[in-house]
């Protein structure tokens, strides 16, 4: 787990001043790799001028595998051209041992280290771009082919690891952190103006959807995509992984043979156990996050089979109903793990927000970021790697809202005019009256009503507070192309598919990467494994959602692995008492000051935002999530645009081995 940075110059050589700037820009992501740093510059022609070539790589390393070697940037090539390729890589390849053995056996590949980095570049040499489909892991990497003068960029199937890029008249740069590209903006010749459409998308979705960022000329390489770029050219992306949900029906009856429900449950358990085993590969200690839910408990229980001394970590708040500390402690005791707890106070919560948003690069209006930050910081005192349960909900049907199609099924039988009439009727019903939401959502198509797990502002609400609101910029800019792919699938599969491209990679995985790496901690997510997905993607609807439960097949698969008190427990996660704190003494004055001091008058009607806070305190409406969306943006703007807010970012000081 590391931080990479690269520059492909449009000029005949990288100017010396640009090389110096790459060194400086690396410091923005020092937290991603405090163990060592390295910069490589392509050599020019022997004895020629200029002395440098067209490419410079920078790297910050967090040493996990082959600690004493596998330094980066790494140069590799076949015997006849041993310095053809140079690679910089962020992530982990969990099947690297198997890949190395195959490359040695089938192609005679020669490796100089014991790590996973060489397996990537060797695979690329022998298999070309198709190599990315053979990698089982989380990754973002760049390979410079000096013979072909081509840069190859790639990102893992689900988007676990980030990769930002920007192209200007002087070249293309790419990085694990957007802030490093901001530092190189004048080197590239790009403008740092904000993208108003991305801003509007953020206000609705609570995150900036890929490939956008809030800076119009900085983009993200999408999940499951590789790209090529030549000096002076544009980045050319190509999607290599497009998740599908081709249902494979379960054989009727209660048998245990092939095709039966019992057999499918065994397949899930076996795939997950194999994934956890491979995710435990490391030359340092691996721990596990543990909430009170089934997903993280399953990962921790399986990890205990490989490390009986496993340490688990959880966080919570001193407020009833907003902590899973007791359930997590009971789970840790049941599986025999040593357990560490961090309780977060309101004062700690507020003080950490600017620092957290600096690490994020773009705001994510999810208050669960804050407890995650504190539990990651606590975990880093004990381990260098943690496992976590992200991805289980999207793969196995875990979100409660996935049950909505069952409750709305009667509306599907109504003629379209009657459904529209139900919608008009809902508009006449006062807010808070039972049945209003059911009528409203039942009157809508799936494409209109579901755009992911985050829904912040309605058009009417956004129009009142966001200056320059554009009616034509809607969530459908993001969701329509995804829904087009899933026509004919059952509604739950369509919702899962949408979340893989929106909520998962826009919120869940952004905070998983950015917040753990803020603490120089590697987070691994065994559910988001190609082999686990291949089992999950074929589950029929009744193996995912029933009227009584979610993740039906997964729960059955984990019987005997997860303690009974967790197996059928409702999902809670790391809940935050934001509604109470914004209305009370804990955060009201803080929020009022953020709004008053923000230099975003050209973006927001700040009087409306301030009134939202007053109304929230008075109990007129629960504006907590909408307020949080505004507050996070205002703090981000204060850091990256106004440069008025300067979070204290300490130099990471962690040992190489833990």
Q: Which residues are catalytic?
A: 2
CA distance between the termini of the chain: 15
Classify strands 52-61 and 74-76 as parallel, antiparallel or unpaired.
unpaired
Contact between residue 398 and residue 392 where contact means Cβ atoms under 8 Å apart: yes
Is residue 344 classed as helix, strand or coil in its secondary structure? Answer: strand
Classify strands 52-61 and 2-9 as parallel, antiparallel or unpaired.
antiparallel
Task: Identify the H or E element spanning 156.
Answer: none
Nearest Cα to Cα of residue 493 among 445, 450, 540: 540
Report the chain's C-alpha Rg in angstroms: 25
Structure tokens at 614: 């007053």
Nearest Cα to Cα of residue 219 among 254, 190, 251: 190
The count of C-alpha atoms lying within 13 angstroms of the C-alpha of 636, restricted to the half-sphere facing its C-beta, is: 24
Contact between residue 24 and residue 56 where contact means Cβ atoms under 8 Å apart: no
Detail the residues annotated as belonging to a binding site.
116, 388-389
Phi and psi angles of residue 90, each rounded to the nearest 5 degrees, phi first: -115, 125
- Concatenating the DSSP letter of every residue in 434-485 gives TTHHHHHHHTS-HHHH-S-S-----HHHHHHHBTT--TT--THHHHHHHHHH
106 C-beta neighbours (distance < 10 Å), count: 9
Phi and psi angles of residue 295, each rounded to the nearest 5 degrees, phi first: -65, -55
CA distance 159 to 163: 9
Structure tokens at 302: 């399986």
Structure tokens at 481: 């192309």
> How distant, in Å, are the alpha carbons of 84, 153, 189, 560 from that of 17?
25, 25, 14, 61
The count of C-alpha atoms lying within 13 angstroms of the C-alpha of 509, restricted to the half-sphere facing its C-beta, is: 31
Detail the residues annotated as belonging to a binding site for ATP.
388-389
Detail the residues annotated as belonging to a binding site for L-glutamine.
116
**Axis crossing angle, helix 346-360 with helix 624-640, rounded to the nearest 10:** 50
CA distance 277 to 417: 54
CB within 8 Å of 98: residues ≥ 6 apart: none
Task: Identify the H or E element spanning 87.
Answer: strand 85-93
285 C-beta neighbours (distance < 10 Å), count: 16
CA distance 418 to 448: 17
Classify strands 385-387 and 522-524 as parallel, antiparallel or unpaired.
parallel
Angle at 574 between CA 209 and CA 351, to 5 degrees: 80
């Amino acid at each position: 787990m590391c931080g990479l940075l690269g520059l492909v110059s449009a000029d005949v050589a990288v100017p010396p001043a640009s090389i110096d700037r790459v060194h400086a820009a690396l410091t923005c992501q020092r937290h991603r790799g405090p163990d060592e740093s390295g910069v490589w510059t392509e050599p020019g022609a022997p004895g020629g001028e200029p002395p440098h070539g067209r490419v410079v790589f920078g790297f910050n390393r967090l040493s996990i595998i082959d600690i004493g070697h596998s330094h980066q940037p790494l140069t590799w090539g076949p015997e006849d051209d041993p310095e053809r390729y140079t690679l910089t890589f962020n992530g982990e390849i969990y099947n690297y041992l198997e890949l190395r053995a195959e490359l040695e056996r089938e192609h005679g590949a020669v490796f100089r280290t014991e790590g996973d980095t060489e397996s990537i570049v060797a695979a690329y040499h022998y298999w070309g771009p198709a190599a990315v489909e053979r990698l089982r892991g989380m990754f973002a990497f760049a390979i410079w082919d000096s013979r072909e003068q081509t840069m190859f960029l790639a990102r893992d199937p689900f988007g676990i690891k980030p990769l930002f890029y920007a192209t200007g008249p002087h070249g293309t740069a790419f990085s694990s952190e957007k802030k490093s590209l901001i530092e190189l903006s004048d080197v590239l010749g790009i403008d740092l103006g904000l993208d108003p459409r991305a801003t509007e998308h953020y206000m609705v979705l609570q995150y900036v959807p890929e490939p956008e960022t809030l800076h119009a000329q900085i983009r993200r390489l999408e999940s499951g995509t590789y790209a090529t770029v030549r000096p002076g050219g544009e980045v050319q992306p190509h999607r290599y992984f497009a998740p599908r949900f081709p249902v494979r029906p379960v054989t009727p009856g209660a048998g245990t043979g092939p095709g039966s429900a019992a057999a499918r449950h065994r397949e899930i358990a076996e795939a997950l156990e194999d994934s956890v085993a491979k995710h435990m590969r490391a030359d340092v200690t691996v721990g596990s996050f543990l909430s009170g839910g089934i997903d993280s408990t399953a990962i921790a229980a399986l990890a205990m089979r490989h490390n009986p001394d496993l340490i688990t970590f959880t966080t919570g708040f001193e407020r009833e109903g907003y902590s899973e500390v007791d359930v997590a402690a009971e789970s840790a005791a049941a599986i025999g793990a040593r357990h560490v707890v961090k309780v977060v106070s309101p004062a700690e919560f507020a003080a950490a927000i600017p620092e957290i948003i600096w690490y994020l690069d773009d705001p994510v209006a999810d208050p669960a970021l804050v407890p995650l930050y504190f539990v990651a910081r606590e975990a880093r005192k004990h381990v260098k790697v943690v496992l976590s349960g992200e991805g289980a909900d999207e793969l196995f049907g875990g979100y409660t809202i996935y049950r909505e199609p069952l409750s709305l099924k009667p509306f599907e039988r109504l003629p379209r005019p009657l459904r529209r009439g139900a919608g008009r009727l809902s508009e006449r019903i006062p807010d808070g009256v039972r049945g209003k939401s059911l009528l409203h959502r039942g009157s809508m198509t799936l494409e209109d009503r579901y755009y992911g797990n985050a829904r912040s502002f309605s058009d009417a609400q956004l129009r009142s507070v966001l200056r320059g609101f554009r009616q034509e910029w809607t969530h459908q800019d993001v969701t329509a192309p995804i829904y087009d792919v899933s026509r004919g699938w059952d509604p739950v599969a369509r919702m899962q598919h949408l979340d893989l491209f929106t909520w998962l990679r826009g919120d869940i995985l952004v905070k998983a990467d950015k917040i753990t790496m803020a603490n120089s901690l590697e987070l691994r997510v065994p559910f988001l494994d190609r082999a686990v997905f291949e089992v999950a993607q074929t589950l029929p609807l009744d193996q995912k959602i029933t009227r009584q439960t979610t993740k039906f097949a997964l729960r059955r698969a984990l019987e005997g692995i997860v303690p009974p008190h967790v197996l059928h427990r409702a999902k809670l996660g790391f809940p935050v008492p934001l509604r109470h704190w914004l209305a009370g003494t804990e955060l009201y004055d803080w929020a009022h000051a953020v709004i008053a001091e923000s230099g975003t008058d050209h973006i927001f009607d700040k009087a409306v935002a301030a009134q939202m806070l007053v109304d929230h305190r008075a109990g007129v409406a629960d504006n907590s999530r909408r307020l949080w969306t505004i507050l996070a943006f205002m703090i981000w703007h204060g850091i990256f645009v106004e440069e008025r807010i300067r979070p204290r970012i300490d130099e990471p000081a962690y040992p190489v081995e833990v």
